Amino acid sequence: MSPIVLLRNRRVRELAYQVLCVAAVIGCGWYLLNNALANMAKQDIATGFDYLGREASFIISDTPIAFEASDSYARAMLVGLLNTVKVAVLAIVLSTIIGTFVGIARLSSNPLLSRLMLAYVEALRNVPLLLYLFLWYSVIIFTLPPVKQAITLLPGVFVSNSGLVVPAFIWNSGFWVVAAAAAIGIVAAILWQRWASRRRIATGKSMPGWPVALALVALPMATAILFFDVSGELDWPVLGKFRLTGGAHLKPEFVALLLGLTLGASATVAEIVRSGILAIRKGQREAAHALGLSDRLTMRLVILPQALRVIIPPLTNVYVTTFKNSSLAIAIGYPDLVMVSNTIMNQTGQAIEPIALFMLVYLLLSLATSALMNWYNGRVALKGR
């Protein structure tokens, strides 16, 4: 078959165009890389990733894992990555909870509540996130009292210009045993819920759902605590005359970044939830009320499950953007992946390799988030016959 005949086939043309585009991108990238390597070689600038094994020689203020100045650059980048994931995941969870509440409240028949939620959304969506990060950081540093005059928010919870201190549970032994038992219990609870749902659909008879699921989660954990060497203690913060002792200390940079990311993303989530609810026809709500369901049950059992099909796709974009926006942490001094990479670049004189690494990390985080949300979207999507 001649090339001209093949090109008349639409699928062949589309594939050919894609191959040519990919080849062009790879060719341009290869040319730019060779050009950069040649210029760096002329200026005697080191290249390669050998620097990752060298001693870091700097301290990171907030470390989820043990880190010393004598550790390698690779471990320093791992600390930065864990800090990025920690603050982004917490912001995603909190913004989803707050945004869902605000989105539902925006549709409330109470005009005061509805207008307050509208003001919340408009204020947070129309100001750049970076300015809010500076605002929260300034409030914490310059407005809150010093540690010796820390404000008690709740029993064991203190806030001051040095951050937030909360009670912490310290494991002496058996953490992984309890974690494995909890994972087994969660899997068992999910399987039970699926079986109960299928049985209800098949027979019309309802089975006890959440009580049994909670028991299935708690039973393996209780068994692990009773029969294995599991011990720990609650480290309760104590406000002394000059300082706070005990508990977990959340530094001002982390608190400011978490507040900024959470509140900024929650406003967008609220609008997504509101639009998803409005996309459901009013007849669904009327039918639920005709069956005797209250407004709360109608929203939980009828409206929100259908609205998820509209909510999930744009929500994926919010989650991916939250991971990317966490890179603004460098503006307030939180040691995320970008800030640690910048320190490494300043010390080693190598810029291309650290930038390439954190570009790759953000790409993988975005792809993983998209894949997880697409899988969930497939689970809640309507299946055609």
Average pLDDT in the 68-80 region?
90
Fold of 90-163+244-330+349-380: MetI-like fold (1.10.3720)
Record the tokens describing residue 201, joined without a space: 């659909």
Best-predicted range by mean pLDDT among 127-131, 196-200, 230-234, 347-351?
Answer: 127-131
pLDDT-above-70 percentage for the chain: 96
Amino acid at 262: T
Domain ranges of the chain: 3-45, 90-163+244-330+349-380, 168-235
pLDDT of residue 319: 94
- The Cα–Cα gap between 227 and 248 comes to 29
Helices (H), the chain: 3-7, 10-42, 73-105, 111-125, 129-138, 175-203, 210-227, 252-278, 282-290, 295-298, 304-325, 337-348, 352-380
Q: Is the model's pLDDT at 385 over the cut of 70? A: no
pLDDT of residue 7: 65
Q: Is the model's pLDDT at 1 over the cut of 60? A: no
- Range from 31-35, 146-150, 288-292, 379-383 carrying the lowest mean pLDDT: 379-383
Rg (CA), the chain: 26
Record the tokens describing residue 198, joined without a space: 């299928």
270 contacts 106 by C-beta, under 8 angstroms: yes
Confidence of residue 50 (pLDDT cuts 50, 70, 90): confident
- What predicted TM-score, i.e. pTM, was given to this entire model? 0.83
Average pLDDT in the 278-299 region?
84
Give all strands of the β-sheet with 151-154 in edge-to-edge order. 151-154, 157-160, 163-166, 248-250
For 181-233, write each residue's pLDDT tens digit.
Answer: 889 988 888 888 888 878 777 776 777 767 788 888 888 888 888 888 888 88
Average pLDDT in the 127-132 region?
89
